[in-house]
Structure 1
Amino acid sequence: MLVLDEAVAAPDVSIQAQILQRLAEIRRDTGVVLVFVSHDLAVVRHITEETVVMRRGRVVEQGPTDRLLCAPEDPYTRLLPASVPRRGWDPADAVRARAETDAA
Protein backbone atom coordinates (compact mmCIF):
# COMPACT_ATOMS: atom_id res chain seq x y z
CA MET A 1 0.00 0.00 0.00
CA LEU A 2 1.22 3.46 -0.90
CA VAL A 3 -0.38 6.45 0.87
CA LEU A 4 -0.18 9.76 -1.02
CA ASP A 5 -1.45 12.91 0.70
CA GLU A 6 -1.98 15.74 -1.80
CA ALA A 7 0.82 14.27 -3.92
CA VAL A 8 0.08 16.50 -6.91
CA ALA A 9 -1.26 19.62 -5.20
CA ALA A 10 1.71 21.93 -5.73
CA PRO A 11 3.42 21.00 -9.02
CA ASP A 12 2.57 22.75 -12.25
CA VAL A 13 0.26 20.91 -14.65
CA SER A 14 3.03 19.27 -16.70
CA ILE A 15 4.78 17.89 -13.59
CA GLN A 16 1.41 16.83 -12.19
CA ALA A 17 0.70 14.85 -15.36
CA GLN A 18 4.09 13.13 -15.12
CA ILE A 19 3.48 12.17 -11.49
CA LEU A 20 0.01 10.81 -12.30
CA GLN A 21 1.40 8.83 -15.24
CA ARG A 22 4.13 7.32 -13.05
CA LEU A 23 1.62 6.42 -10.32
CA ALA A 24 -0.56 4.67 -12.91
CA GLU A 25 2.49 2.73 -14.14
CA ILE A 26 3.44 1.71 -10.59
CA ARG A 27 -0.09 0.54 -9.89
CA ARG A 28 -0.28 -1.39 -13.16
CA ASP A 29 3.18 -2.97 -12.87
CA THR A 30 3.12 -3.87 -9.17
CA GLY A 31 -0.54 -4.13 -8.26
CA VAL A 32 0.11 -1.92 -5.25
CA VAL A 33 -2.94 -0.26 -3.70
CA LEU A 34 -2.82 3.54 -3.74
CA VAL A 35 -4.53 5.52 -1.00
CA PHE A 36 -4.76 8.91 -2.66
CA VAL A 37 -5.77 11.85 -0.44
CA SER A 38 -6.82 14.88 -2.48
CA HIS A 39 -9.17 17.83 -2.71
CA ASP A 40 -8.73 17.97 -6.50
CA LEU A 41 -11.78 16.22 -7.95
CA ALA A 42 -10.36 16.17 -11.48
CA VAL A 43 -7.34 14.24 -10.24
CA VAL A 44 -9.52 11.97 -8.10
CA ARG A 45 -11.66 11.13 -11.13
CA HIS A 46 -8.56 10.48 -13.26
CA ILE A 47 -6.65 8.22 -10.90
CA THR A 48 -9.22 6.36 -8.79
CA GLU A 49 -11.78 3.64 -9.28
CA GLU A 50 -13.18 3.75 -5.74
CA THR A 51 -13.55 6.86 -3.60
CA VAL A 52 -14.20 7.46 0.07
CA VAL A 53 -15.57 10.89 1.00
CA MET A 54 -14.73 12.01 4.51
CA ARG A 55 -16.03 14.93 6.50
CA ARG A 56 -14.66 15.89 9.89
CA GLY A 57 -12.77 12.60 10.10
CA ARG A 58 -15.77 10.40 9.34
CA VAL A 59 -16.72 8.52 6.20
CA VAL A 60 -19.91 9.99 4.76
CA GLU A 61 -20.02 8.08 1.48
CA GLN A 62 -17.99 5.55 -0.47
CA GLY A 63 -18.26 3.72 -3.74
CA PRO A 64 -17.23 3.81 -7.39
CA THR A 65 -15.71 7.21 -8.20
CA ASP A 66 -17.92 7.89 -11.22
CA ARG A 67 -21.08 7.23 -9.22
CA LEU A 68 -19.95 9.36 -6.30
CA LEU A 69 -19.11 12.31 -8.52
CA CYS A 70 -22.09 11.98 -10.89
CA ALA A 71 -24.85 10.83 -8.54
CA PRO A 72 -23.81 11.40 -4.93
CA GLU A 73 -26.25 10.43 -2.20
CA ASP A 74 -24.83 12.28 0.80
CA PRO A 75 -25.55 16.03 1.05
CA TYR A 76 -21.88 16.81 1.73
CA THR A 77 -20.73 14.75 -1.25
CA ARG A 78 -23.20 16.66 -3.45
CA LEU A 79 -21.47 19.90 -2.42
CA LEU A 80 -18.04 18.79 -3.65
CA PRO A 81 -18.55 19.22 -7.43
CA ALA A 82 -20.31 22.53 -6.78
CA SER A 83 -17.24 23.84 -4.94
CA VAL A 84 -14.90 23.49 -7.93
CA PRO A 85 -14.17 26.95 -9.38
CA ARG A 86 -15.35 27.49 -12.95
CA ARG A 87 -16.50 30.42 -15.07
CA GLY A 88 -19.27 32.30 -13.28
CA TRP A 89 -18.55 30.47 -10.01
CA ASP A 90 -19.29 32.48 -6.89
CA PRO A 91 -17.52 31.24 -3.75
CA ALA A 92 -20.32 32.74 -1.67
CA ASP A 93 -22.70 30.16 -3.19
CA ALA A 94 -20.45 27.33 -1.99
CA VAL A 95 -20.22 28.88 1.49
CA ARG A 96 -24.02 29.21 1.70
CA ALA A 97 -24.58 25.64 0.53
CA ARG A 98 -22.08 24.33 3.06
CA ALA A 99 -23.76 26.32 5.86
CA GLU A 100 -27.09 24.77 4.90
CA THR A 101 -25.55 21.29 5.00
CA ASP A 102 -23.92 22.02 8.37
CA ALA A 103 -27.31 23.04 9.75
CA ALA A 104 -28.95 19.80 8.57
Structure 2
Amino acid sequence: MKGLSEPEKALVRANALKTLNASRFPHIRFTTEAIAQTGNGYRLTGKLHIRGKSREHVIDLHTEDLGAAWRISADTTVRQSNYGVKPYSLLMGSIRVADEVSVAFTAVRAKDD
Protein backbone atom coordinates (compact mmCIF):
# COMPACT_ATOMS: atom_id res chain seq x y z
CA MET A 1 0.00 0.00 0.00
CA LYS A 2 1.30 3.44 -0.91
CA GLY A 3 1.32 6.25 1.64
CA LEU A 4 -0.41 9.57 1.20
CA SER A 5 1.20 12.23 -1.00
CA GLU A 6 2.03 15.65 0.48
CA PRO A 7 -1.10 17.27 -1.04
CA GLU A 8 -3.23 14.41 0.35
CA LYS A 9 -1.62 14.84 3.79
CA ALA A 10 -2.39 18.58 3.66
CA LEU A 11 -6.02 17.81 2.77
CA VAL A 12 -6.32 15.27 5.59
CA ARG A 13 -4.86 17.77 8.08
CA ALA A 14 -7.16 20.58 6.93
CA ASN A 15 -10.21 18.34 7.18
CA ALA A 16 -9.17 17.03 10.60
CA LEU A 17 -8.79 20.59 11.91
CA LYS A 18 -12.20 21.43 10.45
CA THR A 19 -13.79 18.30 11.99
CA LEU A 20 -12.32 19.18 15.39
CA ASN A 21 -13.45 22.82 14.95
CA ALA A 22 -9.88 23.79 15.84
CA SER A 23 -10.45 27.49 15.22
CA ARG A 24 -12.95 27.51 18.10
CA PHE A 25 -11.35 24.73 20.19
CA PRO A 26 -7.60 24.94 19.49
CA HIS A 27 -6.56 22.56 22.29
CA ILE A 28 -7.25 19.01 23.35
CA ARG A 29 -6.55 18.80 27.06
CA PHE A 30 -6.39 16.18 29.81
CA THR A 31 -6.84 17.36 33.39
CA THR A 32 -5.63 14.91 36.03
CA GLU A 33 -7.84 14.53 39.09
CA ALA A 34 -6.14 11.51 40.70
CA ILE A 35 -2.78 9.74 40.34
CA ALA A 36 -2.18 6.19 41.54
CA GLN A 37 1.15 4.40 41.38
CA THR A 38 1.14 1.11 39.47
CA GLY A 39 3.78 -1.58 39.02
CA ASN A 40 5.42 0.13 36.06
CA GLY A 41 4.21 3.72 36.25
CA TYR A 42 1.07 5.62 37.16
CA ARG A 43 -2.64 5.54 36.45
CA LEU A 44 -3.97 9.02 35.74
CA THR A 45 -7.69 9.54 36.23
CA GLY A 46 -9.23 12.76 35.07
CA LYS A 47 -11.14 14.54 32.36
CA LEU A 48 -10.37 14.63 28.67
CA HIS A 49 -11.55 17.83 26.97
CA ILE A 50 -12.15 17.71 23.22
CA ARG A 51 -14.16 20.17 21.17
CA GLY A 52 -15.90 21.73 24.16
CA LYS A 53 -16.95 18.41 25.70
CA SER A 54 -15.42 16.80 28.79
CA ARG A 55 -15.56 13.15 29.80
CA GLU A 56 -13.95 11.00 32.47
CA HIS A 57 -10.86 9.25 31.11
CA VAL A 58 -8.09 7.01 32.45
CA ILE A 59 -4.55 6.97 31.07
CA ASP A 60 -1.92 4.43 32.11
CA LEU A 61 1.47 6.15 32.08
CA HIS A 62 4.49 3.84 31.91
CA THR A 63 7.89 4.93 33.21
CA GLU A 64 11.31 3.45 32.59
CA ASP A 65 14.51 4.44 34.39
CA LEU A 66 17.24 5.06 31.80
CA GLY A 67 19.86 6.12 34.33
CA ALA A 68 20.26 9.84 33.64
CA ALA A 69 16.73 10.18 32.27
CA TRP A 70 13.21 8.79 32.40
CA ARG A 71 11.33 7.35 29.45
CA ILE A 72 7.63 8.12 29.80
CA SER A 73 5.04 6.56 27.52
CA ALA A 74 1.30 6.19 27.35
CA ASP A 75 -1.34 4.96 25.00
CA THR A 76 -5.07 5.29 25.25
CA THR A 77 -8.17 4.90 23.14
CA VAL A 78 -10.63 7.69 22.44
CA ARG A 79 -14.08 7.31 20.87
CA GLN A 80 -14.54 10.43 18.74
CA SER A 81 -18.34 10.34 18.82
CA ASN A 82 -18.24 10.70 22.63
CA TYR A 83 -16.98 14.23 22.01
CA GLY A 84 -19.30 15.17 19.17
CA VAL A 85 -16.65 14.53 16.52
CA LYS A 86 -17.81 12.87 13.32
CA PRO A 87 -15.03 10.48 12.24
CA TYR A 88 -13.14 11.86 9.25
CA SER A 89 -13.61 10.31 5.82
CA LEU A 90 -12.22 11.10 2.38
CA LEU A 91 -13.00 10.06 -1.17
CA MET A 92 -16.62 9.12 -0.48
CA GLY A 93 -15.64 6.97 2.50
CA SER A 94 -12.91 4.97 0.78
CA ILE A 95 -10.47 6.43 3.32
CA ARG A 96 -11.80 6.95 6.81
CA VAL A 97 -10.82 7.11 10.43
CA ALA A 98 -12.53 4.68 12.80
CA ASP A 99 -14.68 6.15 15.56
CA GLU A 100 -12.33 4.62 18.13
CA VAL A 101 -8.79 5.94 17.69
CA SER A 102 -5.55 5.16 19.53
CA VAL A 103 -3.39 7.97 20.84
CA ALA A 104 0.17 7.24 21.99
CA PHE A 105 3.28 9.14 22.95
CA THR A 106 6.78 8.52 24.25
CA ALA A 107 9.04 11.15 25.78
CA VAL A 108 12.45 11.14 27.45
CA ARG A 109 13.12 13.60 30.26
CA ALA A 110 16.43 14.20 32.01
CA LYS A 111 16.36 13.57 35.74
CA ASP A 112 16.58 16.60 38.01
CA ASP A 113 19.96 17.00 39.70
TM-score range, shorter chain: under 0.3
After TM superposition, the score normalised by the length of structure 2 is 0.20
Greater strand share, structure number: 2
Q: Choose 1 or 2 for highest CA Rg.
A: 2
After TM superposition, the score normalised by the length of structure 1 is 0.21
Greater helix share, structure number: 1
